[in-house]
């Protein structure tokens, strides 16, 4: 039995030494091999760096976005050509897009300013709207329903009303316009909360 213990220990030590030798051989082999995708020994000269810098001096990564003309939005056009083109074109109808300066640094922002400055037709609805998410006999039930609507991101309020000698606690969102009321009602319906749109004369 003593011989078996000694044989096991010797076998373990021999296995450890052989494993270390294999690992050392693999490490030497890997460090001596050339690394793929890496060109060792290729150095760049100052001339090649200067040529690369000259080539990339006027490079524009957005060039494909300018279209077939190849003109950058910030390029200046020869004024005599611009005047000649302006004389030949008929005067178009003035709309919001025509009021925006095409050489502006922010044409979308300018268009938004022009659109917001235009007078909008005034539509006055004779009603204001509420979305009622429930009517309850106790304030606790109404608070529970109000909490559910608040969790949906809606600002619900509880109002008391006497109906037939009893106090009813109504959970309502509003006042708002009709479009907003329909949006709120759809949101409540999506959350499986029964609701009704209530309109009140202004």
Confidence band of 14 (pLDDT split at 50, 70, 90): very high
Give the mean pLDDT of 99-118: 71
DSSP symbol at 37: T
Query: What is the chain's mean pLDDT, rounded?
Result: 76
Residue 77 confidence (pLDDT): 47
Least confident of 103-112, 152-161, 172-181: 103-112
Q: What is the pLDDT of residues 24-65, one digit of tens each?
A: 999 888 888 776 666 555 667 788 888 888 887 776 666 666
Residue 80 confidence (pLDDT): 47
The proportion of the chain whose per-residue pLDDT surpasses 90, expressed as a percent, equals 13
Residue 114 confidence (pLDDT): 76
Residue 84 confidence (pLDDT): 47
Q: Does residue 69 carry a pLDDT above 70?
A: no
The proportion of the chain whose per-residue pLDDT surpasses 70, expressed as a percent, equals 66
Which long-range CB contacts under 8 A does 8-15 form with residues at least 24 apart? Answer: none
- Length of the chain equals 202
DSSP symbol at 125: -
Residue 65 confidence (pLDDT): 62
DSSP string, 4-16: HHHHHHHHHHHHH
Query: Which of these, 114, 108, 159, lies nearest to 133 by C-alpha position?
Result: 159
């Amino acid at each position: 039995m003593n011989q078996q213990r000694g044989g096991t220990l010797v076998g373990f030590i021999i296995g450890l030494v052989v494993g270390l030798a294999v690992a050392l051989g693999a490490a030497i082999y890997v460090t001596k091999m050339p690394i793929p995708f890496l060109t060792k020994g290729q150095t760049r000269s100052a001339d090649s760096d200067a040529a690369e810098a000259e080539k990339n001096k006027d490079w524009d990564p957005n060039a494909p976005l300018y279209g077939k003309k190849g003109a950058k939005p910030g390029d200046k056009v020869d004024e005599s050509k611009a005047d000649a083109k302006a004389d030949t074109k008929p005067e178009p109808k003035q709309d919001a897009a025509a009021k925006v300066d095409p050489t502006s640094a922010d044409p979308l922002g300018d268009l938004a300013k022009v659109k917001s400055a235009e007078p909008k037709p005034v539509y006055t609805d004779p009603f204001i709207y509420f979305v009622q998410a429930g009517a309850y006999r106790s304030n606790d039930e109404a608070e529970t329903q109000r909490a559910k609507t608040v969790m949906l991101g809606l600002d619900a309020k509880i109002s008391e009303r006497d109906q037939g000698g009893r106090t009813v606690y109504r959970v309502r969102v509003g006042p708002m316009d009709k479009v907003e009321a329909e949006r709120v009602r759809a949101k409540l319906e999506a959350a499986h909360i029964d609701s009704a749109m209530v309109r009140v004369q202004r």
